Amino acid sequence: MSAAHCFSSDTTSRWQVSLGRQNLQGNNSNEVSTTVARIILHPNYDSVTNNNDIALLRLSSPVNFTDYIRPVCLAASDSVFSNGTDSWVTGWGAVKEGVSLPFPETLQEVELSVLGNSQCDCLNGVGTVTDNMICAGVLAGGKDSCQGDSGGPMVNQQGSVWVQSGIVSFGFGCARPNLPGVYSRVSICQSWINSHISSDKPGFVQFTSSGLDADSSYTCPGPPPSTTTSSTTRPSTTQILTSPARAVCGNAPMNSRALGDSGVVPGGTWPWMVSLHKNGVYTCGGTLIAERFVLTSAQCVSTSNPDVSEWSVFFGQHLVDGSEEFEMSLGVVNITVSNMTDSNIALLQLTKPVSFKDHIQPVCMDVSASRTFPVGSRCWVAGWENGSKSFSTDKAGSGLRDLETQVASCGDLSDSENICTYTMDLQQGDQGSPLLCKSDSSWFQVAVVTMSGSKSVRADVQVFAKTSRFGSLLKETVGDMPSPEVAATGNAAGFSISLFLYFVVPVTSVFLLSGS
């Protein structure tokens, strides 16, 4: 049993399962390895919400049980895990955010307490935790599962028997205070698991917790935690562009996106989003990066000699909820395309400068590559997923959407050239859209979505070329760019014990951004 998000498909050929293993490096005298005959992903697994994040692997041949290799019991459907239930999580994942387990990568364990679903949902952002999930952690932070622990178990002891209650699934960062980790709830899946195993079914055990479950009466205290600056915490910042003063970038005064928010976005949320139309047809997303420049993917302009007269740029999208209304549009006088080896960008120079308002603002560009976006940082992609459809006469549900993700480790790939995130369901219409991450109090566009085939780190990780790669072209073409508001904010980092998944993962596999 593992997590569905560990698998990009049900293709078994590159997978191997190791059992009885203690270290990932060196010899393990008790180890047995086997290949996989079938990968069964939960049919209702949702990669956006992580709901039903469970998979079953049928091994190619039965394994013999030893003192080192034994099956765990599974929590039966009528199990109860009350707030505070003692739990253990094991794995070979990162020992804290962005820090992998040191040589020889010995299996780690951490003791955590179950946290009730209502409280966990309040803490992680209302709507993130479903009944198919179970949470555990310590509110003070410092102990958690982390990247690479996914698919591994959370177990609870009842008498002399260990019962698996959860599968490591997701969390915001690792070991941060008040952000408990989220696990797939095994007990909910009893009938689904049994339906795929005909003989030698797992041992389901009813787990019962003593004591009252305080969670059933829990309600969120105050407003849910917000990761973005809202107009209530900062005065509205309408920038007037009188030279020589530089405009401020990366301010989104109307943005109230909170942790876990993904989907159709209210007007003004991402004030730098523009939509690019070629001969009147929606073609790509783009971003306003200066009063006269828009950034998009080179693939959107495709031809080497683009005709500027075909293009128009729409600003101030979606001010009226539920309809596609734009504040205004402008033409293009010049298109500059970068000339690097894999991903490329295009810069569209506008016919006249745009005046910034609360809902029309430039995003920050890290031209000098001085910003870091550590593993676990929350980032968003905003875009019009199936663009051309969105701009048809059918206006229902056709607005700008966004997807939340987290920065993941790029493995062996250069961190200065690339940024890696957990896989999102990107569509063709997202081409040219930004990957947006906050640094201090400003929003930065860290990458442009392109639909080209891409490198891979792990099956659940997407690689983007950092926009800072194009720093010199940006400076040359755009000149002085708006700069972020100066702010000093500290970053708290906790310690977590490390865990990683049970399988020896092929470290490189070809990953293609979905272009369907």
Q: Of 317, 447, 459, 472, whose CA–CA distance to 377 is shortest?
A: 447
Whole-angstrom CA distances from 451 to 281, 387, 465, 492 are 19, 14, 12, 35
432 part of the interface to ligand 4AZ, by CB under 6 A: no
Phi and psi at residue 144, in whole multiples of 5°? Answer: -175, 170
Active site residue 78: no
Angle at 37 between CA 35 and CA 43, to 5 degrees: 125
Choice among 2, 5, 145, 366 that is catalytic: 5
Please identify, among the stretches 115-123, 139-147, 212-220, 443-451, the one whose residues bind ligand 4AZ according to the rule CB under 6 A.
139-147
Other beta carbons less than 10 A from residue 505's beta carbon: 18
Least Å from the CB of residue 141 to ligand 4AZ = 10
Active site residue 388: no
150 part of the interface to ligand 4AZ, by CB under 6 A: yes
Which one of 174, 259, 337, 474 is in contact with ligand 4AZ (CB under 6 A)?
174
One-letter amino acid for residue 413 of the chain? L
335 part of the interface to ligand 4AZ, by CB under 6 A: no
171 part of the interface to ligand 4AZ, by CB under 6 A: yes
Question: Tokens 């969670």, residue?
Answer: 215
DSSP notation for 167-183: EEEE-SSSS-TT--EEE
Least Å from the CB of residue 150 to ligand 4AZ = 4
Residue pair 92/22 in contact (Cβ under 8 Å)? The answer is no
- Cα–Cα distance for residue pair 31/191, rounded to 1 Å: 31
Q: Residue 129 or 284: which CB sits closer to ligand 4AZ?
A: 129
Question: Tokens 């993700």, residue?
Answer: 405
Query: Which residues does 439 contact at the CB level (< 8 Å), separation at least 6?
Result: 364, 366, 371, 372, 373, 484
416: tokens are 């200065």
Which one of 51, 147, 377, 423 is in contact with ligand 4AZ (CB under 6 A)?
147
Which one of 149, 215, 366, 385 is in contact with ligand 4AZ (CB under 6 A)?
149
DSSP 8-state symbol, 68: S
348 part of the interface to ligand 4AZ, by CB under 6 A: no
Which one of 170, 315, 391, 511 is in contact with ligand 4AZ (CB under 6 A)?
170
Please identify, among the stretches 142-150, 311-319, 344-352, 447-455, the one whose residues bind ligand 4AZ according to the rule CB under 6 A.
142-150
500 part of the interface to ligand 4AZ, by CB under 6 A: no
Which one of 98, 181, 260, 387 is in contact with ligand 4AZ (CB under 6 A)?
181
Counting every residue written for the chain, the total comes to: 516
Question: How big is the site for ligand 4AZ, counted in residues (CB under 6 A)?
Answer: 12
Active site residue 5: yes
Least Å from the CB of residue 6 to ligand 4AZ = 9
Report the residue closest to ligand 4AZ, judged by CB.
171
Please identify, among the stretches 170-178, 278-286, 303-311, 380-388, the one whose residues bind ligand 4AZ according to the rule CB under 6 A.
170-178
Least Å from the CB of residue 211 to ligand 4AZ = 25
Which one of 19, 110, 123, 146 is in contact with ligand 4AZ (CB under 6 A)?
146
Least Å from the CB of residue 232 to ligand 4AZ = 29
501: tokens are 């998944």
Angle at 413 between CA 408 and CA 419, to 5 degrees: 40
Least Å from the CB of residue 450 to ligand 4AZ = 24
Least Å from the CB of residue 144 to ligand 4AZ = 4
Q: Of 246, 304, 289, whose CA–CA distance to 485 is shortest?
A: 246
DSSP 8-state symbol, 194: H
- Cα–Cα distance for residue pair 281/488, rounded to 1 Å: 43
Whole-angstrom CA distances from 468 to 98, 336, 364 are 21, 16, 11
145 part of the interface to ligand 4AZ, by CB under 6 A: yes
Q: Which residues carry out catalysis?
A: 5, 53, 150
Positions that interact with ligand 4AZ (CB under 6 A): 144-150, 168, 170-171, 174, 181
